[in-house]
Amino acid sequence: MLVNFGAIFTALLLSVLVLVYDQGEKLGEITNEGKSLQVGLKKELLEQLYYNICYSVVLSVFLVFLCLVYTFFPDEPFMVVFSDYVFELDAKRYFLSPLILMVVTNLLLTILMVVKRMHTLLTIKI
């Protein structure tokens, strides 16, 4: 399910990235001197949005990779033996699952930032 989530959001965010690039090109053509402050703020917002979307795409690809690693990892814990002690290390439970959870949480929060900035970008009138 997380692989589908990551793949779908990667495709959607790449299309939004094209929209942001197009808005940036249109903004570069505007030479209205009376609204230079608004144009500057919108350019800054577009730059922040561009970096947020790129980060989200990288995070989505990383999420798909982590889920792939998770599926190929063995289900039984690793046995580590020191002289008289035997330790069981469940890498899936204690390392991969929390890492995947952190990536998903970070991705969701970043997507919320993208949505907030897209709303601001599309409601500003120049």
Residues 110, 115, 120, CA angle at the centre, nearest 5°? 125
Q: Is the pTM of this model over 0.95?
A: no
Burial class (CB in 10 A: 0-12, 13-18, 19+), 93: exposed
pLDDT surpasses 90 at 104: yes
CA end-to-end span of the chain, whole Å? Answer: 41
What are the structural domain ranges in the chain? 2-123
pLDDT tens sequence across 19-58: 888 888 877 776 555 567 777 888 888 889 999 999 999 9
Please name which of 21, 31, 71 lies closest in space to residue 51, comparing C-alpha atoms: 21
